[in-house]
Amino acid sequence: MTAQLIDGNALAKKIRAEVAERAAALTARGHTPGLAVVLVGDDPASQVYVSHKVKDCETSGVRSVLDRFPASMPEADLLKRIDELNRDDSIHGILVQMPVPKHIDPQKVIAAIDPLKDVDGFSILSAGALASGLPGFKSCTPYGCMKMIETTGVNLKGKHAVVIGRSNTVGKPMAQLLLQANATVTICHSGTVDLCQHTRQADVVVAAVGRRNTLTADMVKPGAVIIDVGMNRNDEGKLCGDVDFAGVSQVAGFITPVPGGVGPMTRAMLLVNTIEAAERKHP
């Protein structure tokens, strides 16, 4: 069997076009949606991510404000800047690119962002709302993964979904979203004794570990939906995910590539959350 590719670039493009329509409608009513992106330090990967996010805004009619600060920025100054952005009526979403430098507590930073502008969905309030089935911002990567699963036409009700990884930003919210869609959900992690035993029974696997070849063909049920959140480098320095794509795509029913899978969808869902924040403010 050769799996069908879930094209994250194509789906993200479609979502950006929908965002652009909603942004234009808001702008026509005098409320151009605004996203503040804050980068502290000069981590090269973060610089690339941030420039992509700003570019996405430009193509979707969302105004972006990029704040770049040196790695030496005191924590108090960053919290003060977040407070200013919280009060700025032209800003509907605030994203502080992670990781922040070591002397800054990321939890304090996340907690400082107005929950109504938490378009990353990283705050305790957003996580709690998701766990309680209440409206809030969904973490962008799991939100994007759900949109990708939707395109397969597979109804998650009663299906067994296995999430590999338990991070607050991906694994845990992913499990919550799958649960909301009525899947039976297993979360596997570094303490899981027999990962294969779980993944072999899974109709859907979301791999979010950060280690290549975590999921190989022998671990996959024929026809399963495979979502690869990983962003790793192979021995040749090429970008690869957590899934052995060549092997697994021979067994799975659907699979996301890396690059061109989850990455562009995470960025697209950031725009969706920003538009939602603006629409909630200006109903």
Any idea which residues carry the catalytic annotation? 53, 97, 120
Give the integer Cα–Cα distance in Å for 145 and 129. 19
DSSP letters, 101-144, are PTTS-HHHHHHHS-GGG-TT--SHHHHHHHHHT-S-PPPHHHHH
Q: Does 120 bind ligand GUN (CB under 6 A)?
A: yes
225-228/254-255 β-pairing: parallel
Q: Does 130 bind ligand GUN (CB under 6 A)?
A: no
Contact 162, 205 (CB under 8 A): yes
Stretch in the footprint of ligand GUN (CB under 6 A) among 89-97, 177-185, 246-254, 271-279: 89-97
Closer to ligand GUN by Cβ: residue 129 or 140? 140
Give the interface segment with ligand GUN, choosing from 57-65, 91-99, 143-151, 219-227 (CB under 6 A).
Answer: 91-99
- The answer to whether residue 96 forms part of the interface with ligand GUN (CB under 6 A) is yes
User: Does residue 38 bind ligand GUN (CB under 6 A)?
Assistant: no
Q: How far is the CB of 33 from ligand GUN (least distance, A)?
A: 18
Minimum Å gap between C-beta 155 and ligand GUN is 28
User: Mind giving me the DSSP string for 233-257?
Assistant: E-TTS-EE-SB-HHHHTTT-SEE--
Give the pair of three-digit tokens for residue 194: 């027999």
Q: Is 98 in the site for ligand GUN (CB under 6 A)?
A: yes
Q: Do 243 and 207 meet the contact criterion of CB atoms below 8 Å apart?
A: yes
Residue count, binding to ligand GUN (CB under 6 A) = 8
CB-based contact 228:207 (threshold 8 Å)? yes
Would you count residue 65 as binding ligand GUN (CB under 6 A)? no
Q: Using the rule CB under 6 A, is 244 a contact of ligand GUN?
A: no
Site residues (CB under 6 A) for ligand GUN? 49, 95-98, 120, 140, 266
